[in-house]
Chains A and B, each alone.
Chain A
């Protein structure tokens, strides 16, 4: 068995994708061959660490996109004073300058 085939069958073994006979044969081989057994153990550790790494990467991505989303929505803010619960308050903060400035500038024109 080439090493590539072996690694591929290891992955199928870990993912529980082997047929029962194949699995039994493989486990028998492990019993007979300590070198193979050691290789299975090491590769299992490696694949587990890889899976954990993938999981955490995924979580970190989801946290960072959640942050951006909530920032956009106004649920969180860089400057905490700007956080508002309601849509109306949000709109008020966004447009208060324009609203307050408009009458003043009209007054000046008169």
Chain B
């Protein structure tokens, strides 16, 4: 817009007008610049928010877990439901993806290179595709977009498989342990109960007896674990 034309000849010398003309364009540029800056700040903020949520996930903070869960479950649910899956499948796939996200976020060198949603979606997609293939359910009418990779998550899936295998070894060792060893060790190592709590819960006569029992159980679990783990 050319302001020169709007200003009467008599006012051309007015210092106020001169000041305005001189500064109008730089002001515009400044406003635009501020705009871009604000947009960038917005992006950084949402990025920071996601980082915060992930930290919460690692620390097992209920609010963060709920927030990530609520914001992403429906998307994964739609993906699974639209591809021959049930509600229960959707829940399993989503929770498995959350565990993978947790394992990834726990690493000290972790940095999220894409949005949380994109990451969970990519992981869930691969997990569901694998399950479909595993059950021989992968039929031609399955949405073919399921095959398109979203982002590269190969490494994370491989890591997850290793962790799953380890988890299963420990779980089966616990299962083979029998009672009261199983409950005793779970109370101490999983629920982090103290020795005096164990005495009370299980009715030992004193802490030393509980300690001896815990030791014996631990050695049995260790043996069961390594019998599977070293294979």
Binding site for B on A (CB under 8 A): 4, 7-8, 42-43, 46, 49-54, 56-60, 62-64, 66-67, 69-70, 75-76, 78, 80, 83
Contacts and interface: CB of A to CB of B under 8 A. Distances in A.
Q: Is the interface of A mostly helix, strand, loop or mixed?
A: helix
Nearest to A78: B87
B35 interface: no
Q: Which size bracket describes the interface of B in this complex?
A: 35 or more
Interface string B190-231: 101000000000000000000110010011001001100100
Nearest to B166: A49
B157 interface: no
B69 interface: yes
Interface stretch (B4-12, B23-31, B59-67, B110-118): B59-67
Contact of A63 (B69, B77, B167, B219): B69
Contacts of B229: 49
A80 B189 contact: no
Contact of B73 (A49, A50, A70): A70
B215 A67 contact: no
Contacts of A83: 74
A46 B99 contact: no
Contacts of A49: 166, 169-170, 225, 229
Given A66-B69, A67-B95, A4 B166 contact: no
Given A60-B99, A80-B74, A83-B74, A67 B69 contact: yes
Contacts of A76: 69-70, 73-74, 77
Nearest to A11: B218
A46 B225 contact: yes
Contacts of B163: 52, 56
B138 interface: no
B62 A56 contact: no
A78 B74 CA distance: 10
B70 A70 contact: yes
A69 B70 CA distance: 10
A107 B98 CA distance: 53
A56 B99 contact: yes
A53 B224 CA distance: 15
A27 to B, nearest CB: 23
B102 interface: yes
A78 B215 CA distance: 45
B81 interface: yes
B104 interface: no
